[in-house]
Amino acid sequence: MQNRSQWGTRLGFLLAAMGSAIGLGNIWRFPATAYENGGGAFFVPYLFALLTAGIPLLIMEYTIGHKYRGSAPKSLGRVSKGFEWIGWWQVLISFVISTYYGAIIAWAIMYSYYSFGQVWGDDTTGFFTGDFLQMTDAGAFGGLVPTILIPLIIVWVLVLGILLAGVKKGIELANKIFIPLLAVLFLIIVIRAVTLPGAAEGLNEFFQPNWSEIMNGSVWVAAYGQIFFSLSIGFAIMITYSSYLSKKSDITNNAFITGFGNSSFELLAGIGVFGALGFMAQSTGQEFTEIVQGGVMLAFSVFPQIINEMPVMSGLFGFLFFASLTLAGLSSLISISETYVAGVQEKFNVSRTASVLIGGGIAAVISIAYASQGGLVLLDTVDYFINNYGVALAGLFEVVAVAWFARGLKDLQNHANSVSDIQLGGWWRFCLGFITPIVLGYMMLQNIRNEVTGEPYEGYPIEFLFNFGWIVALGAMMLGAVITIKRWPNRDLDYKRHSSVETSEDKEVAQ
Amino acid sequence: MTGSAIAMFVIGGVIIWGGLLGSVFYARKVAKTKK
């Protein structure tokens, strides 16, 4: 029986888990979400969501991976045979996300290079959508853009190389370099941003509490959504990563460190982004409401404008910002890709090399579509649907399946308590059994209501939204069910049999 | 910055960064006692 890969150190696991959680959303999603949902007052629902859903869910996923020692499909299948498809569904969601994540990292690499000459000129939006992406009409693909395709190939060579090197020598080592480097780069950015003229006004906009918003239900949904999407929960990642922990590893405190580490970076990103936006508002005389944006346009349109306005070392500031995006993106892409590498390897009984080359190779080929002139519209559509009707729904199914159908929380609590420094009590089961399913369920209902009553997403053609939004999101769910039909090699889902084999092997080693 | 904005910065920072540092120090403390 082949030994399962393991992290070399606890720090290695924590850096990899934080590297997965700290992604592009921390930098470009959190600051705008907080600003639009009550500013400083947003911290109340945000912290409540972190403590009642984010960290409890992390603990649940860590415990499932640690106890059942397999990829997400195998681990969830060992909780109950019927849940294997939820694992495959999550793995396929990660597969879809990995196809476009690489393209965004490729943009960030090019923008790191462009920063030194401020190649984007004065019309930063026009440069991004026109000269750089060469955008065509929504729904059309157009030709390939070499300035995106070449860095995209570099990204995939790097990521697949890291995955081929294995868990300890590849993923752990890469994160031990990427995450401390990212922390240092981002600290430099934040220090520079808050010392710019006008930064205090920007920070005031970010932290000024609007207490009337706190009674608004949508603000609470936004807080739970931010925590949920930011922590890499419901992606199959944390189950896979924790399955590489040694048997006596702590679970609960590791989840607290990961959760607070992710939020610490988000808060730092908010300070850096709003310090820089305050400077821009002052130097251009624009109102805050005009310049605050989230997502792709914050990074690739607003930030280049800020860089243009900077008095000294603007090129270096730009390079550091886009290098940070690249590092945050790479550490997340590695974790996203590891989910299907582990899943394919176990289910189809192939070597890790074959699994990386098959799974990663297919993802890399599909990602070329995002290097086309229609790449941004495709990315925006797939991202919207796979997050709202993939990640959130699969997360809801996972927690309901484990808490309600399998009634597995007590068993998982006992397992976590047997190895952890911090003991779990009834609060943990209450959060997962009631609060999390209710909030996630409400979120889903609200999304569906908006979809039915609102305009088509971003005004894109309905046929395009159907083909690349709904079909991709629902297709992941259905394909997950199809893969589940194939039998596991060596009766791998039989947890009791395998855990007894492992225990006897451990005893032989001890003798 | 206004007083309420500074207060939210301090409260948010203490809880979030304090939570991270507290968890890390607790892990180190437990690891030392186990040795």
Does the CB of A209 have a partner CB in chain B at under 8 Å?
Answer: yes
**In angstroms, rounded to a whole number, what is the distance separating the alpha carbons of residues A350 and A341?**
10
Please report the pLDDT score of residue A452 as a whole number: 87
Q: pTM for this structure?
A: 0.94
> Beta-strand (E) ranges in A308-402?
none
Does the CB of A212 have a partner CB in chain B at under 8 Å?
Answer: no
* Inter-residue contact A157 to A357 (CB < 8 Å): no
A219 CB-near residues (< 8 Å, 6+ apart): A37, A38, A42, A45, A213
A-B interface: how many C-beta pairs under 8 angstroms? 72
The distance of A354 to chain B (nearest Cα, Å) reads 38
Q: Which residue of A has its CA nearest to B18?
A: A260
Please report the pLDDT score of residue A459 as a whole number: 87
Please report the pLDDT score of residue A437 as a whole number: 95
Q: Which residue of B has its CA nearest to A255?
A: B23
Does the CB of A51 have a partner CB in chain B at under 8 Å?
Answer: no
Please report the pLDDT score of residue A453 as a whole number: 87
Query: Which residues of B fall within a CB distance of 8 Å from A422?
Result: 26
* Chain B contacts in chain A segment 395-434 (CB below 8 A): 421-422
* Option in B5, B15, B20 nearest A207 (CB): B5
Say which residue, A335 or B34, is predicted with more confidence. A335
Pairwise CB contact (< 8 Å): A267 & B17: yes
Q: What is the DSSP string of A159-220?
A: HHHHHHT-IIIIIIHHHHHHHHHHHHHHHHHHHHHHTSTTHHHHHHHHH-B-GGGGG-HHHH
* Inter-residue contact A334 to A177 (CB < 8 Å): no
* Option in A10, A43, A263 nearest B8 (CB): A43
Please report the pLDDT score of residue A291 as a whole number: 87
The token pair that represents A402 in the structure block: 């484990």
The token pair that represents A428 in the structure block: 């943990």
Q: Find the farthest-apart pair of alpha carbons in chain A and give their distance in angstroms, rounded.
A: 75
Please report the pLDDT score of residue A494 as a whole number: 74
**In angstroms, rounded to a whole number, what is the distance separating the alpha carbons of residues A97 and A429?**
30
The distance of A303 to chain B (nearest Cα, Å) reads 23
pLDDT by residue, tens only, chain A of 511 residues: 457 899 999 999 999 999 999 999 899 899 999 999 999 999 999 999 999 999 999 999 999 999 999 999 999 999 999 999 999 999 999 999 999 999 999 999 999 999 999 999 999 999 999 999 999 887 788 899 999 999 999 999 999 999 999 999 999 999 999 999 999 999 999 999 999 999 999 999 999 999 999 988 889 989 998 998 899 899 999 999 999 999 999 999 999 999 999 999 999 999 999 999 999 999 999 888 888 888 899 999 999 999 999 888 899 999 999 999 999 999 999 999 999 999 999 999 999 999 999 999 999 999 999 999 999 999 999 999 998 889 889 999 999 999 999 999 999 999 999 999 999 999 999 999 999 999 999 988 988 888 888 888 888 899 999 999 999 999 999 999 999 999 998 777 777 766 765 555 444 433 3
Q: What is the ipTM of this complex?
A: 0.97
Q: What is the DSSP string of A253-313?
A: HHHHHHHHHHHHHHHHHHHHHHHHHHHHHHHHT--HHHH---THHIIIIIHHHHHHH-SS-
A274: left (phi over 0), alpha (psi -120 to 50) or beta: alpha
Strand partners, A209: A39
Does the CB of B8 have a partner CB in chain A at under 8 Å?
Answer: yes
Q: Which residue of A has its CA nearest to B1?
A: A204
CA torsion through residues A458, A464, A466, A467, sign: negative
Does the CB of B10 have a partner CB in chain A at under 8 Å?
Answer: no
Buried b (16+ CB within 10 A) or exposed e, A61-87: bbbbbbbbbbbbbbbbbbbbeebbbbb
Mutation target for A interface from B6, B10, B20: give the one with most A CBs within 10 A: B20
Please report the pLDDT score of residue A506 as a whole number: 45
Please report the pLDDT score of residue A505 as a whole number: 47
Pairwise CB contact (< 8 Å): A203 & B5: yes
